[in-house]
């Protein structure tokens, strides 16, 4: 056993003596997995006690990996003479005897990929899910849309550097993940945020292929990018994620981006989008005609900020301290948008201006919106350089006023704007409000809120499961127009955001280092960083559950999410958010443990053997699996339980099950599995349909019961459609009853009832078609 | 004292004053030559957008929008100054090599609009419904305003959802009880000790 060392030899003998339970007694328990400091350093033994992650050094580099794979090595990777992967503990003895092996040690640190690891991997416990179910996102392609991938001239690393360090896949990836990132379009200059997003995905789902398309270059370019990535003949991505928002995306109507997201989701592509970083930084109110002129145009009428009943006030006071910036990224009103194909456009034109104390305009946005058809103004942005002293008091101004004015058209029902910046403050009429808008509102998308890693349970014992970022956007904006631009009588409220992910994540170049982790790597903050984690966990779920569409993936993420009940405010205070699904955290903080990655049906099929159906299914892994109920229905009938197969409880091993049914009548049969957990919850598999056809021209069952005391039945099936005659004769050869005369369709059993009007005696049932004649004898007793 | 209600008493006619201030800001020359040039370019853009009467949005090139017109005039001025690289001060405008990224909205047919814009030199065109995105030569902005198949055009403004390092939001230092968070604190030194220990163990094991 010398080549495998004392640690692995001890492990091997422990397993030999008591099997996996004995190993679990040594290494089991989950407490360590919740402890923050060491959470990214994990013991190499799997939680089920069956396998160990090893690093092996080859005596013969050309053979070792294959030799270990023959012993059951999973997730094997090789760099030079070093092979790593997960080896069954039971195979350690055989491994020690391999001539191709020079030495082997347990690998204590395998929880991150590349030079820089992900706090999100720990916070969402994805490393547990990967290890326990032997998944890493293989077979999935996850693609990002952001500004750019490899265009920045100021980023600390390039894509080539990231591949060389193992933080991205590519030809020189040291872990052997050589499939390069599929870059469809990187034509727009940017900060390479998309590359940082892909690093986060690679940390959680290192086996997934990756792709990229810029989302900049205009709304149509973004739409085209989504289509291209989802196109099976182009990007062929299974999961998409973006972090981009256009200020013209409608607040109150599904726009072209929302529609394309729904479209690709319908085609089977799961979609994740950052919820936004606007918190509740929104002003919203009904539009109130003040009767007073505007400041941009004397022909315009100003909005009255004061609630009804108060004195008219057309100025909203805003403080922008010296060096501060106030920005309205988008101001919109309740009109439909001409961006939407088939919709009428806006018929009102609102403008917005920021003025100083003497009403001098310092910033404005004043499109011809009704002509354009877009109910949008913005961006309005003002940075206080200290150069303005409008009231000539000798002190640079810091007080400004916002004016919203209507230049044309009818009064809209409502007006709303979303603000951002720094060193500014809305001093009055600041109702706060929802800020999630645009394509994250798509029903086919998961909008992801953010919680910083240092406020997740894995890193902070004071938190369970997570506290939201103060800037994470709040949902609640209602959809008010359909695709034609017609107002919806009951405006549609959507549950957004959907989920919460981790942000503040280490990567090689994007962001700046956080004071709240011990390393010096840059930390990537924002919902931009949270959404990729959802996409990566979705890759694990889809690998574990082949055939899962977006709806099943979303349902799994939502069902397993842990409720988030607190958030921080802009001032750093801790406040509660409603329990359950809410407009801040959605369904809660995502989990990627084996318990949340359900029992995996890697395959489920059925064939006809003789007259029976043989069902087979394979699980890639099981967690708390009590077993499988087998359910069956014939034709249009109801499902009935016809059997049960015990499950394996919890195992990372793949298992195959087989169930042979009783003989089936000809016709259409449908089967499904009811997978039951130990806690009593159950989920159904997809349905499998079989058509048991006749191998001969016909089938006529025996008369049953026989003798016939009251009534009996006989079933007749024909293999080809034809006219059939069913008659009853007595022993004298006289016809005493005609049961059927006419066409019968193929493989559609017909049951006849007989005996009701027959005297006691012996009878013969004769069934004749164009291609057959069959006779069944029966006795009638009374 | 600031007037908090410009169009109601006791302030006297502040709205018309506001307009005058705006026009004065735009039209009145200032001592700075650079400022003067900027103002004159803005005045030209406003004239294209509003027309010679400086009111309404019915100028000869209004369909191009004020932002694009301002960009055009700045670009034209920059080209007249030899060797002056054009770097627009307009936040969010994506300009490169004399082209600007636009989102154009079709009157009816995006196909026709795309063809018309391509004839003007639009590159990297993409279509989604009524929207045609792409890069237009800045010098073609006046011609853009004359395209019949164009309903209107905007400079697309896109943002990613990234944030800088947290400033007002340190780690929560008390259990989730809804109490106020304390001031920022440095990471627990024990974290470093522990990680150092684990890393040491890892290195020893690997070696």
A37: left (phi over 0), alpha (psi -120 to 50) or beta: alpha
CATH number of A2-106: 3.30.70
**In whole numbers, what is the pLDDT of chain B averaged over residues?**
72
Domain of B127 in residue numbering reads as 14-154
HEC-encoded secondary structure of A371-440: HHCCCEECCEEEECCCCCCCCCCCCCCCEEEEEEEEEECCCCCEEEEEEEEEEEEECCCCCCCCCCCCHH
pLDDT at A715: 86
Whether residue A209 contacts residue A159, with contact meaning beta carbons closer than 8 Å, is answered with no
Smallest Cβ–Cβ distance between B151 and the set A220, A338, A570 belongs to A338
pLDDT for the residue numbered A575: 94
Q: Write the class of the CATH domain A119-278+440-576.
A: alpha beta
Chain A residues inside the 8 Å CB shell of B1: 391
Of B5, B131, B175, the CB nearest to A313: B5
Distance from the Cα of B177 to chain A's closest Cα (Å) equals 8
- Per CATH, A2-106 and A698-780 having the same topology is answered no
Q: How far is the C-alpha of A52 from the C-alpha of A611, rounded, in Å? A: 45
Nearest CB partner across the interface for B160, out of A41, A106, A146: A146
Task: Please tell me if residue A293 touches chain B, with a CB cutoff of 8 Å.
Answer: yes
* CATH topology classification for A601-692: Immunoglobulin-like (2.60.40)
User: Strand locations in A577-700, DSSP E?
Assistant: 601-609, 612-619, 622-634, 640-651, 655-660, 667-677, 682-684, 688-692, 698-700
Q: Do B96 and A357 touch (CB under 8 A)?
A: no
CATH class, domain A287-422, is mainly beta
Within-domain flag for B94: yes
- A contact test, residue of B163, B179, B206 with most A CBs within 10 A: B163
Q: B14 pLDDT exceeds 60? A: no
Option in A220, A467, A511 nearest B176 (CB): A467
Cβ-count burial of A734 within 10 angstroms (0-12 exposed, 13-18 middle, 19+ buried)? exposed
Find tokens 């003497």 and name the residue: A358
Are A260 and B128 an interchain contact pair (Cβ–Cβ within 8 Å)?
yes
Give the sign of the dihedral formed by CA A680, CA A684, CA A688, CA A693.
positive
- Under the banding of pLDDT at 50, 70 and 90, the label for residue B8 is very low
Helix (H, G, I), strand (E, B) or coil at B120: coil
pLDDT at B120: 98
Per the CB < 8 Å rule, is A217 touching B94?
yes
pLDDT at res. A46: 75
Mean pLDDT for A109-117 is 65
- How far apart are alpha carbons B151 and A763 in whole angstroms? 87
Per-residue model confidence (pLDDT) at position A696: 63
What pLDDT digit, counting tens, does each position of A723-757 carry? 999 999 988 888 899 999 999 988 788 888 888 88
Asked if the structure places residue B7 within a domain, the reply is no
Q: What is the CA radius of gyration of chain A?
A: 34
Interface predicted TM-score of the whole assembly (ipTM), two decimals: 0.73
Judge: A293–B184 Cβ closer than 8 Å, yes or no: no
Contact A525 B163 (CB under 8 A): yes
What is the arithmetic mean of pLDDT over A196-212? 97
Instruction: Give the pLDDT of residue A6.
Output: 80
Quick one: pLDDT at residue A375?
Answer: 98
Q: Which tens digit of pLDDT belongs to each residue from A44-101?
A: 777 667 888 888 888 888 899 999 989 988 877 777 788 888 888 999 999 999 999 9
| Residue B178 in domain | no
Answer whether 0.80 is exceeded by the pTM. Answer: no
Asked if B158 and A244 come within 8 Å (Cβ–Cβ), the reply is: yes
Task: Report how many domains make up chain B.
Answer: 1
- B46 domain-assigned: yes
Kindly report the number of other CB atoms within 10 A of residue A581's CB atom: 15
Helix, strand, coil share (%) of chain A residues, nearest 5: 20, 35, 45
Chain A to chain B Cβ contacts (< 8 Å): 335
- Quote the minimal CA–CA distance from B33 to chain A in Å: 17
How far apart are the CA of A500 and the nearest CA of chain B, in angstroms? Answer: 14
Task: Identify the band that residue A585 occupies on the pLDDT scale cut at 50, 70 and 90.
Answer: very high
Q: Rounded mean pLDDT of A580-602?
A: 82
pLDDT exceeds 50 at position A144: yes
Pairing, β A445-452 against β A499-503: parallel
CA–CA separation, A67 and A86 (whole Å): 13
Cα distance between residue B133 and residue B151, in whole Å: 14
Question: Residue A597: what pLDDT?
Answer: 63
- A392 C-beta neighbours (distance < 10 Å), count: 8
Q: Please determine, for residue A695, whether its predicted confidence score (pLDDT) is greater than 80.
A: no
Average pLDDT for A194-205: 97
Q: Which of A37, A153, A57 is nearest to A98 (CA)?
A: A57
Is position B204 within any domain?
no
User: Phi and psi of A670, rounded to 5°?
Assistant: -120, 140
Least confident stretch, A128-137, A203-212, A441-450, A668-677? A128-137
Beta carbons of B162 and A108 less than 8 Å apart: no
User: What string of H, E and C letters represents the secondary structure of A292-356?
Assistant: EECCCCCCCEEECCCCCCCCCCCCEEEEEEEEEEEEEEEEEECCCCCCCCCCCCCCCEEEEEEEC
Residue in B7, B57, B105 closest to A314 by CB: B7
A555 φ, ψ to 5°? Answer: -60, -40
Distance CA B40, CA A472 (A): 42
Per-residue model confidence (pLDDT) at position B17: 40
Could you give the percent of chain A with pLDDT greater than 90? 60
Test the A interface: residue of B105, B162, B174, B181 with most A CBs within 10 Å: B162
Kindly list the residues from chain B whose CB atom is less than 8 angstroms away from the CB atom of residue A296. 19, 22
The 8-class DSSP code of residue A12 comes to H
User: Would the CB atoms of B160 and A276 count as touching at under 8 Å?
Assistant: no
Q: What is the pLDDT of residues A363-420, one digit of tens each?
A: 999 999 999 999 999 899 999 999 989 888 889 999 999 999 999 999 999 999 999 9
Q: What are the pLDDT digits (tens) for A255-269?
A: 999 999 999 999 999
Q: Which residue has the higher pLDDT, A703 or B116?
A: B116
Interchain CB distance below 8 Å, A371 and B174: no
| Alpha carbon separation from A736 to A350, A731, A733, A741 (Å, rounded) | 90, 10, 9, 14
Q: Are A777 and A762 in contact (CB under 8 A)?
A: yes
> Going by C-beta distance under 8 Å and a sequence separation of 6 or more, which residues neighbour residue A42?
A33, A108, A109, A110, A111, A127, A131
pLDDT at res. A152: 96
* Token representation of residue B180: 């106020």
Chain B interface, mutation test: which of A104, A218, A337, A563, most B Cβ atoms within 10 Å?
A218
The answer to whether B158 contacts A295, with C-beta atoms less than 8 Å apart, is no
Q: How confident is the model at residue A42 (pLDDT cuts 50, 70, 90)?
A: low
CATH for A698-780 (2.40.37.10, 3.20.20.70, 2.60.40.2550, 2.40.30.10)? 2.60.40.2550
Q: Which of A122-126, A663-667, B111-115, B180-184 has maximum average pLDDT?
A: B111-115
Confidence class of residue B202 from pLDDT cuts 50, 70 and 90?
Answer: very low
* pLDDT confidence band for B199 (50 / 70 / 90): very low
| Extents of the domains making up chain A | 2-106, 119-278+440-576, 287-422, 601-692, 698-780
Q: Chain B neighbours among A 702-761 (CB < 8 Å)?
A: none
Residue B179: inside a domain, yes or no?
no
pLDDT band at B81 (very low <50, low <70, confident <90, very high): confident
Alpha-carbon A672 to chain mean position: 24
Say yes or no to pLDDT of A38 above 50: no
Nearest to A218 among B8, B103, B191 (CB): B103
Q: Which of A415, A518, A539 is nearest to A144 (CA)?
A: A539
Of A312, A355, A372, the CB nearest to B151: A372
DSSP class of residue A507 equals -
Give the pLDDT score at B88: 76
Mark which residues 43-82 of A lie under 8 Å from B by CB.
55
Taking residues A680-690, report their average pLDDT. Answer: 81
**A634: three-class secondary structure by DSSP:** strand
**Mean pLDDT value of segment B151-158:** 96
Q: How far is CA A365 from each of CA A381, A421, B64, rounded to the nearest angstrom?
A: 9, 17, 14
Pick from A480-494, A552-566, B67-81, B154-168: least confident = B154-168
Give the model's pLDDT for residue A598. 60
The shortest CB-CB distance from A572 to any of B18, B170, B178 is to B170
Q: Do B127 and A224 touch (CB under 8 A)?
A: yes
* Per-residue b or e along A680-692, where b marks 16 or more CB atoms closer than 10 Å to that residue's CB: eeebebeebebeb
Q: Do A511 and B164 touch (CB under 8 A)?
A: yes
Q: In sequence order, what are the residues at sequence separation of 6 or more whose Cβ sits closer than 8 angstroms to the Cβ of residue A577?
A: A468, A564, A565, A566, A567, A584, A585
> Which positions in chain B touch A4 (Cβ < 8 Å)?
none
Under the banding of pLDDT at 50, 70 and 90, the label for residue A31 is very low
pLDDT in tens, B30-54: 444 445 667 888 899 999 999 998 8
Convert the pLDDT of each residue in A421-459 to its tens digit: 999 999 999 989 999 999 999 999 999 999 999 999 999
Digit-coded pLDDT (tens) for A312-335: 999 999 999 999 999 999 999 999
Highest mean pLDDT among A592-601, A620-629, A707-716, B158-167: A707-716
């Amino acid at each position: 056993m010398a080549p495998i060392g004392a640690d692995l030899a001890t492990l091997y003998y422990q397993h030999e003596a008591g099997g996996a339970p004995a190993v679990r007694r040594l290494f089991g328990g989950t407490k360590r997995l919740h402890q923050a400091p060491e959470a990214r350093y994990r013991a190499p033994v799997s939680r089920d006690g069956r396998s160990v992650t090893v690093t092996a050094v080859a005596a013969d580099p050309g053979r070792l990996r294959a030799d270990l794979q023959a012993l059951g090595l999973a997730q094997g990777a090789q760099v030079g003479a070093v092979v790593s992967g997960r080896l069954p503990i039971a195979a350690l003895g055989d491994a020690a005897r391999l001539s191709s092996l020079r030495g082997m040690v347990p690998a204590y640190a395998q929880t991150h990929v590349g030079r820089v690891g992900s706090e999100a991997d720990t916070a969402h416990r994805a490393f547990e899910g990967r290890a326990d179910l032997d998944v890493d996102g293989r077979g999935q392609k996850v693609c990002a849309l952001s500004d750019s991938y490899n265009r920045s001239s100021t980023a600390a690393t390039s894509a080539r550097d990231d591949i060389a360090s193992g933080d991205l896949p590519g030809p020189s990836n040291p872990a052997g993940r050589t499939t390069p990132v599929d870059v469809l379009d990187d034509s727009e200059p940017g900060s390479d945020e998309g590359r940082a997003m892909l690093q986060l995905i690679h940390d959680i789902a290192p086996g997934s292929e990756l792709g990229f398309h810029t989302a900049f270059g205009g709304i149509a370019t973004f739409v085209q990018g989504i289509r291209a990535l989802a196109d099976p003949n182009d990007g062929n991505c299974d999961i998409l994620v973006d972090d981009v928002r256009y200020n013209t995306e409608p607040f109150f109507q599904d726009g072209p981006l929302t529609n394309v997201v729904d479209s690709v989701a319908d085609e089977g592509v799961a979609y994740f989008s950052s919820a936004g970083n606007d918190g509740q930084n929104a002003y919203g109110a009904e539009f109130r005609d003040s009767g007073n002129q505007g400041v941009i145009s004397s022909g315009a009428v100003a909005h009255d900020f004061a609630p009804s009943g108060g004195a008219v006030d057309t100025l909203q006071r805003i403080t922008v301290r010296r060096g501060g910036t106030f920005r309205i990224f988008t101001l919109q009103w309740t009109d439909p948008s001409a961006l939407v194909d088939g919709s009428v456009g806006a018929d009102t034109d609102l403008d917005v201006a920021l003025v100083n104390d003497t009403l001098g305009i310092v910033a404005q946005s004043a499109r011809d919106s009704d002509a354009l058809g877009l109910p949008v103004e913005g961006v309005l942005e003002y940075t206080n350089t200290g150069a303005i002293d409008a009231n000539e008091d000798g002190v640079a101004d810091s007080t400004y006023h916002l004016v919203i004015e209507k230049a044309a058209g009818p009064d809209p029902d409502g007006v709303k704007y979303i603000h951002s910046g720094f060193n500014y403050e809305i001093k009055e009429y600041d109702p706060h409000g929802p800020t999630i808008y645009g394509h994250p509102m798509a029903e086919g998308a998961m909008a992801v809120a953010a919680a910083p890693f240092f406020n997740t349970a894995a890193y902070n014992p004071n938190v369970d499961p997570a506290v939201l970022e103060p800037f994470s956007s709040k949902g609640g904006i209602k959809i008010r127009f359909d695709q034609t631009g017609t107002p919806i009588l009951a405006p549609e409220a959507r549950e957004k955001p959907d989920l919460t992910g981790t942000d503040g994540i280490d990567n090689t170049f994007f962001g700046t280092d956080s004071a709240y982790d011990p390393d010096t790597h840059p930390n990537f903050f924002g919902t931009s960083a949270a959404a990729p984690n959802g996409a990566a966990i979705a890759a694990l779920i889809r690998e574990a559950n082949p055939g899962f569409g977006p709806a099943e993936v979303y349902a799994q993420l939502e069902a397993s999410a842990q409720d988030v009940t607190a958030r921080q405010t802009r001032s750093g205070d801790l406040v509660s958010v409603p329990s359950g699904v809410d407009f801040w955290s959605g369904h809660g903080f995502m989990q990627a443990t084996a318990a949340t990655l359900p029992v995996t049906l890697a395959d489920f099929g059925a064939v006809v053997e003789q007259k029976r159906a043989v069902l087979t299914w394979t699980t890639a892994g099981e967690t708390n699996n009590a077993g499988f109920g087998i359910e069956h229905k014939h034709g249009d009938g109801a499902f009935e339980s016809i059997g049960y197969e015990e499950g394996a409880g919890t195992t990372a091993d793949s298992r195959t099950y087989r169930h042979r049914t009783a003989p089936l009548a000809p016709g259409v049969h449908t089967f499904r599995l009811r997978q039951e957990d130990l806690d009593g919850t159950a989920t159904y598999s997809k349905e499998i349909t079989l058509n048991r056809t006749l191998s001969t021209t016909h089938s006529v069952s025996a008369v049953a019961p026989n003798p016939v005391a009251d009534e009996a039945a006989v079933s007749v099936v024909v293999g080809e459609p034809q006219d059939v005659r069913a008659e009853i004769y007595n022993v004298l050869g006289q016809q005493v009853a005609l049961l059927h005369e006419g066409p019968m369709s193929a493989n559609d059993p017909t049951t006849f009832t007989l005996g009701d009007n027959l005297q006691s005696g012996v009878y013969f049932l004769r069934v004749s078609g164009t291609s057959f004649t069959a006779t069944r004898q029966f006795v009638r007793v009374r | 004292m600031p007037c908090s209600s410009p169009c109601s008493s006791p302030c006297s006619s502040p709205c018309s004053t506001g307009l005058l201030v705006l026009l004065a800001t735009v039209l009145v020359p200032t001592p700075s030559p650079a400022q003067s040039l900027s103002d004159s370019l803005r005045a030209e853009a406003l004239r294209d957008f509003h027309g010679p009467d400086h009111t309404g949005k019915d100028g000869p090139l209004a369909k191009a929008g004020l932002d694009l017109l301002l960009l055009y005039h700045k670009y034209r001025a920059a080209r007249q100054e030899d060797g002056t690289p054009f770097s627009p001060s307009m936040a969010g405008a994506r300009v490169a090599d004399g082209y600007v990224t636009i989102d154009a909205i079709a009157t009816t047919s995006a196909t026709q609009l795309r063809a018309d814009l391509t004839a003007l030199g639009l590159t990297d065109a993409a279509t989604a419904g009524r929207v045609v995105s792409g890069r237009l030569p800045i010098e073609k902005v006046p011609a853009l305003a004359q395209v019949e198949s164009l309903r209107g055009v905007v400079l697309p403004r896109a943002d990613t959802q990234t944030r800088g390092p947290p400033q007002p939001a340190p780690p929560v230092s008390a259990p989730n009880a809804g109490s106020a968070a304390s001031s920022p604190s440095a990471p627990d030194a024990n974290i470093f000790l522990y990680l150092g220990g684990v890393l040491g163990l890892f290195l020893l094991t690997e070696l």
